[in-house]
């Protein structure tokens, strides 16, 4: 399939893709920095976020979802469990497996991290963009979401 759509050349789309990659990387760095007061590795943050959005999961399912070895996932979960952020529970159909889920403290910390990121983002949108630019950004959100749909 050609990248040319709606009058854009492949070169224009390639250039825009490069610019979007750079902006997305910088945005992610700023979002990570916004939760800087919450001590957690990026892999721990991803696991907490996944458990928060998808619910309890086995170690194997988490490892598959994050494309890491089960041993690496066990290490990440061990650190989170040691901090009281995740808890083990029985698997409903397989007694050999356990399901990991967020503890109350894990839910609280995840909410704090989300709030910090959203507060930073809302502040910069309100202070750095005009009303028309805010409208354009808000209109682009569904398009950006489509880019990452699986």
Q: What is the DSSP string of 54-113?
A: H--EEHHHHHHHHT--HHHHHHHHHHHHHTTSEEEEE-SS-TT-EEEEE-HHHHHHHHHH
**pLDDT tens for each residue of 96-119:** 889 999 999 999 999 998 899 999
pLDDT, the chain, mean: 91
Tokens of 42: 């990026």
Specify the residue for token string 């028309």. 132
Reference 102, options 92, 111, 93, 94; nearest CA is: 111
| Residue percentage of the chain with pLDDT more than 70 | 96
Find the range with the poorest average confidence among 1-5, 53-57, 65-69, 75-79: 1-5
**What pLDDT does residue 6 have?**
66
Question: Among 10-19, 35-44, 66-75, whose mean pLDDT is lowest?
Answer: 35-44
CA distances from 150 to 20, 76, 145 (A): 19, 25, 10
Other beta carbons less than 10 A from residue 57's beta carbon: 19
Residue range 121-149: mean pLDDT, rounded: 96
For residue range 58-68, list pLDDT tens digits in order: 999 999 999 99
Beta strand 98-102 with 86-90 is antiparallel
pLDDT at 2 over 80: no
At residue 4, does pLDDT exceed 50?
no
Q: Is the per-residue pLDDT at 1 higher than 80? A: no
User: CA 92, CA 55: separation in Å to the nearest integer?
Assistant: 14
| Cα–Cα dist 48/138, whole Å | 27
| Calpha distance 52→64 (Å, rounded) | 17
Structure tokens at 141: 């959100």
């Amino acid at each position: 399939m050609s990248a040319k759509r709606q009058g854009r050349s492949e070169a224009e789309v390639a250039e825009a893709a490069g610019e979007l990659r750079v902006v997305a990387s910088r945005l992610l760095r700023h979002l990570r920095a916004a939760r800087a007061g919450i001590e957690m590795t990026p892999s721990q943050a991803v696991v907490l976020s996944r458990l928060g959005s998808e619910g309890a999961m086995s170690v194997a399912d988490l490892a598959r979802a994050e494309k890491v070895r089960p041993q690496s996932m066990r290490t990440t979960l061990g650190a989170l469990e040691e901090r009281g952020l995740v808890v083990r529970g029985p698997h409903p159909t397989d007694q050999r497996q356990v399901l990991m889920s967020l503890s109350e403290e894990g839910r609280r910390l995840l909410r704090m991290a989300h709030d910090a990121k959203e507060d930073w983002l809302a502040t910069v949108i309100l202070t750095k963009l005009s009303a028309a630019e805010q409208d354009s950004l808000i209109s682009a959100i569904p398009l950006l979401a489509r880019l990452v749909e699986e």
